[in-house]
Structure 1
Amino acid sequence: MPDRTSEDERLRRWRLVLGSDSAESTGHTPEGRDAAMDRTLTALYGGGKNPVTRSPGERGAGLGASAPAAARWLGDIRTYFPAPVVQVMQRDAIERLGLAALLLEPELLDAVEADVHLVGTLLSLGGAMPETTRETARAVVRKVVADLEKRLAGHTRATLTGALDRSARTGRPRHRDIDWNRTVRANLKNWVPLPAADGAALPSGGAGAGTVVPERLIGYGRVGRAVRKEVVLCVDQSGSMAASVVHAAVFGAVLASMRSLDTRLIVFDTAVVDLTDRLDDPVDVLFGTRLGGGTDINRALTYCQARITRPFDTVVVLISDLYEGGIRDRMLQRVAAMRDAGVEFVALLALSDEGAPAYDRDHAAALAALGVPAFACTPDLFPEVMAAALEKRPLPVPER
């Protein structure tokens, strides 16, 4: 005999998923907490049009075109659903119901579950944001940035400090800094057999004990306070790159805090903006961006190339979906010229947890032909990508 409790639970879940249209087929009527959850889901997924444009009497509950109604709804979903689900529902509300315009109200911002995508939405509204909302928006952005820094900063600094130490090899290391494996390999030609027990030397090539005379020592220098490498983050601020812009601002601030790196942050659409002087505060960086608009990668790379003083010690990271609105051939020529000069060039299609977005595959293939693979990178992988670039070894390109 089937478990009746399990069957009831199954029908209950289907009723919540399918909505009121399934009441007859499931035979389930939500009550209490379930009824409240059903109302919040119906407001967003009830099948009607945007409540701002819907005709009177048209099906669908909606949130209403007012901040108080939306704020109540946002409070309800935080009551009934876990944070990851809340964030998904907020994104759906922004896309389906025109909630973005209501985010200009301070009381609504106080009710949201802040995440990277919400920050991107706020930044895209920057020009339209009234002064009464701006400070609340900055507080929301600062909370997200602080959470990201807490998650990413320690691992990034540790990984890159090790890479910088390894990249600073020297032929006159102190004893504790000697890389013994590389030193032995470099001096194998100086292997000398030890005398046999009776005093006679072993024949050349014979088995037996011997020693390597280390004519050349290989080791690591210490980074100390000197700037060892230059990093240029060149970030596309078109609307589709919002999450990447947020993460790039956080990583830019972390890299700028490392004395051995000279870090620049350049953002671009059809114009180029140098935000390097704001890197001590990633929130200022983010409010200095302008999400949306076109894309001119060639112009951005021209600006970056003109500011490179030590090509062999420079890493340029282009973060873009590669939909070039400028001059394609010149863009590729600039990448090739930087590579020929010794610059380590990295092309990231995205710097986010969502994976690869839509991107220009022809431009990605053209970069790959120049020895620059273009790939999406998660924030957790980014420190390893930067470490490999600083050491001029193959990048850890994720499998597709």
Structure 2
Amino acid sequence: MSDEERARRWTLALGADESDAAPSLSNSDRRMSDALSALYGDGEDTKKGRGGLGGSAPRVAKWLGDIREFFPSPVVQVIQKDAFDRKGLRQMLLEPEFLATVEADVNLVADLIALRSVMPEKTKETAREVIAKVVAELMKRLEARTADSIRGALDRSRRTNRPRHSDIDWPRTIARNLRHYQPEHRTVVPEQLVGFMRQQRRLIDLDEVILCVDQSGSMASSVVYASIFAAVMASLPVVATKLVCFDTEIVDLTEELADPVEVLFGVQLGGGTDIDRAIAYCEDRIERPGKAHLVLITDLYEGGDAESLVERLMRLVASGVNVIVLLALSDSGRPSYDPKLSARVASLGIPVFACTPDQFPELMATALRREDVHGWAADRDIKLVRADD
């Protein structure tokens, strides 16, 4: 690295004042420095007329445009979050001009949901468009994988020579067609496919999945992802899916699952937490315990009756309900949670851990097959809460 490049990087890291000679900085470098100083400066820059994120939405929109030009999307999202925290930019979310330029992600969706009650109608329309865009991107990323993992339990004791593409047993198909190996193409041409037959399942025999989601502020991103997955699963005719969100109140969003954007607008982020009351609500709506799967998504900071909650979960497990507790359903997979209550719940034999969205489809497939979720998590180096923690 040349001395000039080293000087340039140090100047960008420390910030450049208008009076600085700093010949190593180009106009583009100065714009980058100004964009960062507006957020991370010590306040002196604002007095000199450089930076600062106050004022009108157009000024913030220009700042967002600059940081998107100079930094990749993951860095932009980090900078935006810092801007919300340091400069009070949540008030800017009430302006449609700002929303039209912001880099949308799951955390922004959570902010919009939390603020929608104080938004003017014009801003609500823009917010809905932003949320719809993020939901569409998440559906594209997660829908096919979730559907493939969950759609129809595969009956691996029965085979067919006319399988669907997703049901092909590739090792057996290749072994059966080795005589058709084509050396010039270095591949096997399969003349006969071998695959698994899907079980024909009657409506009355459907597995029932209840996603019971803590909508307190700390669980915001988990609520967004859970709503997306609930909408995907509700579109599959092979499982009966319900979505229940709660804080100290309970919102049953099952009837809204055809429209995931509407689901998110039905969420009430914030407030206290009464997990026991939510589980009681779900317990009353479980029709066949032996076919029911209850996925409780919460950090287990209980504001209600913890003793009653533990007893209720114990009763559900004893009745045959497949209970799983996710401390978070988020990209980071690193939850903050109540260790004492988590350990008590784990002592009931309930798997208690955090899960990323990319892991969730496989988790649900494992649960629907009634396989060992503890073993599934351990095989993937997912930290499980233990009873003796």
User: TM-score, normalized by length of structure 1?
Assistant: 0.80
1:238 aligned onto 2:238: no
Aligned to 1:122: 112
Matched AA of 2:30: A
- State how far apart, in whole Å, the 2-side matches of 1:58 and 1:349 are: 47
User: Which residue number in structure 2 is paired with residue 383 of structure 1?
Assistant: 361
Aligned to 2:182: none
Are 1:367 and 2:345 an aligned pair?
A: yes
Q: What is residue 290 of structure 1 aligned with on the other side?
A: 268
Contact 1:230 1:261 in 2 (8 A): yes
Q: Paired residue for 1:38, among 33, 42, 52?
A: 33
Q: Structure 2: which amino acid aligns with 1:48?
A: G
Q: Is the 8 A contact 2:342 2:352 kept in 1?
A: yes
Partner of 2:167: none
The answer (yes or no) to whether the contact 1:11–1:28 under 8 Å persists in 2 is no
Please tell me whether residue 326 in structure 1 is matched to residue 304 in structure 2: yes
Q: How does 1:102-181 map to 2 (within 5 A)?
A: 102-161=92-151, 164-166=153-155
- Report deviation, 1:12: 1.8
Note the C-alpha offset of 1:62.
1.5
Q: 1:8 aligns with which of 4, 29, 52?
A: 4
Task: State how far apart, in whole Å, the 1-side matches of 2:269 and 2:28 are.
Answer: 40
Moved over 6 A (4+): 173-177
Q: 1:125 to 1:361 in 2, by over 3 A?
A: same
Match of 1:216 in 2: none
The corresponding residue for 2:382 is: 399
Q: Distance in 2 between matches of 1:105 and 1:158?
A: 40
CA distance in 2, matches of 1:148, 1:165: 26
SS of residue in 2 equivalent to 1:317: strand
| Matches of 1:119 and 1:48, distance apart in 2 | 30
Partner of 1:191: none
Distance 1:362 1:76 in 2: 46
Structure 2 unaligned segments of length 5 or more: list them. Answer: 163-195, 384-389
Structure 1 residues 252 and 63: alpha-carbon distance in aligned structure 2, compared to 1, 3 A threshold: same
Deviation at residue 31 of structure 1 after TM alignment: 2.3
Please tell me whether residue 62 in structure 1 is matched to residue 52 in structure 2: yes
Structure 1: unaligned runs, 5 residues or longer: 178-218
CA distance in 2, matches of 1:296, 1:108: 35
Opposite residue 149 of structure 1, the aligned amino acid is M
- 8 Å CA contact retained: 2:294, 2:321: yes
Q: Which residue of 2 aligns with 1:222?
A: 199
1-structure distance, mates of 2:48, 2:113:
33
Report the equivalent of 2:43. 48
SS across alignment from 2:212: strand
Quote the Cα distance in structure 2 between the aligned partners of 1:374 and 1:362: 12
Structure-2 separation of matches of 1:8 and 1:300: 62
Deviation digits for residues 211-251 of structure 1 (CA, Å, limit 9, x no counterpart)? xxxxxxxx976135635200000000011111111101110
Q: Which residue of 2 aligns with 1:207?
A: none
Q: What amino acid does structure 1 have at the position aligned with 2:138?
A: L
Q: Distance in 2 between matches of 1:222 and 1:148?
A: 29
Structure 1 residue matching 2:328: 3-state secondary structure: strand
Deviation per CA, 1:55-78: give whole Å up to 9, x if none: x94998311132222112112212
Q: Which of 307, 323, 333 is the matching residue for 1:355? A: 333
- Separation in structure 2 between the aligned mates of residue 382 and residue 290 of structure 1, nearest angstrom: 23
Tell me the equivalent position of 2:282: 304
Identity within the alignment, %: 50
Query: For the residues of structure 2 that align with 1:230 and 1:153, how far apart are their CA atoms?
Result: 19
- Using the alignment, how far apart are the partners of 2:59 and 2:212 within structure 1? 41
1:270 corresponds to: 248
| Greater displacement, 323-332 / 56-65 | 56-65
The 3-state SS of whatever aligns with 1:301 is helix
**For 1:346, what is the secondary structure of its paired residue?**
strand
Distance 1:147-1:175 versus aligned 2 partners, 3 A rule: closer
Q: Give, in whole Å, the separation in 2 of the partners of 1:60 and 1:267.
A: 45
Query: Does structure 1 conserve the Cα–Cα contact (< 8 Å) formed by 2:246 and 2:273?
Result: yes
Instruction: Give the deviation of 1:20 after TM superposition.
Output: 3.2
- How far apart, CA to CA, are the structure 1 residues paired with 2:323 and 2:50? 51
Q: For residue 69 of structure 1, what is the amino acid of its counterpart?
A: R
Number of matched pairs: 343
Deviation (angstroms), 1:356: 2.0
1:156-186 CA distances to partner (integer Å, 9 max, x unpaired)?
1111125x234xx89xx68879xxxxxxxxx
Alpha carbons of structure 1 residues 344 and 28: separation in structure 2 relative to 1, 3 Å: farther
2:53 aligned counterpart, secondary structure: coil
The amino acid of 1:136's aligned partner reads: T
